[in-house]
Amino acid sequence: MGQFSDGGQWWWDGTTWIATSQIVLPQLPVTEFEKSGKLKGARTFMRRAAWLGFWNTSINVALVFLFPWLAALRDYRSWKLEQLALATAYLLGPHEAMLAGETSLLDSHITNGSVRWDLAVSVTAAHVLVLGIDSLDGQPRWVALAGRTTDVKIERRSLVFGLYPALWISRGNVQWRIRGTPSVFRPDPVLEAWRQAATTVTSNKP
């Protein structure tokens, strides 16, 4: 049964303490969403879109692909959230389940010569976890942040008209951004779960 140290820098795997930055999550079980076959259509669409050049500069081409692309992203999001719940249970044990979570999709990029991977956030009754995802068809693989709900701040930000919505998670001077797509991204459950969890922890302190 997993357990993080108070500062979140170390993780107990049941036999030894491991530096949080050195955690590599094992292959997660197949999720119920994937078993249902619903993910297959989204994967097929993404492969075809990449082959046809989804980011074609033609407005007509973009409009044709927009709605099926959003539908595919919603399916991927549902799958990633199930994976996130499994990863949370692996790290914290079944007694501390994920209350809410959110993930970025297709946000991996290179900045200053280093790769920035997609991230996902999981909120439990006592912790906020930020996990790195190895690929769109991959899974949460490592831990970027493990912090107490009272030590972490979560904010929702976006540009004008709700463009580029994002959750910003911070602890101290370090920040992580989880950016979403309008009509796919749902940050409110994460914010509500975090606020309630932090309030409960604070009120229970002697």
CATH 2.30.29.30 fits 3-204, yes or no: yes
Residue 46 binned pLDDT confidence (cut-offs 50, 70, 90): confident
Can you give the pLDDT at residue 59?
47
Q: Tell me the pLDDT tens digit for each residue of 159-181.
A: 776 778 999 999 999 999 999 98
Q: Are 148 and 201 in contact (CB under 8 A)?
A: yes
Distance CA 16, CA 23 (A): 12
Cα–Cα distance list, 133 to 48, 104, 142, 166 (Å): 22, 9, 7, 17
Cβ-contact 120, 195 below 8 angstroms = no
Reported as a single tens digit per residue, the pLDDT across 106-115 is 765 444 455 5
Domain definitions of the chain by residue range: 3-204
Tokens of 116: 């920035």
38 closest CA partner among 85, 83, 81, 79: 79
* pLDDT for res 64: 65
Map residue 123 onto helix, strand or coil: strand
- Alpha-carbon gap, residue 178 to 118, rounded angstroms: 8
C-alpha–C-alpha distance, residues 184 and 73, integer Å: 7
Rounded mean pLDDT of 140-154? 97
**Which tens digit of pLDDT belongs to each residue from 56-96?**
544 444 566 788 889 999 999 999 999 999 999 999 999 99
| Mean predicted lDDT score pLDDT of the chain | 88
- The angle, 0 to 180 degrees and rounded to 10, between the axes of the packed helices 38-52 and 59-92 is 140
pLDDT score at 57:
46
**Rg of the chain (C-alpha set):** 18
- Report CA-CA distances (Å) from 18 to 22, 98, 127, 151: 7, 22, 18, 21
The DSSP 8-state label assigned to residue 172 in this structure reads T
CB atoms within 10 A of CB 21: 11
Burial class of residue 113 in the structure, from the number of CB atoms within 10 Å of its CB (0-12 exposed, 13-18 middle, 19+ buried): exposed
Confirm if 98 and 111 have CB atoms less than 8 A apart: no
The residue-averaged pLDDT of 150-167 equals 88
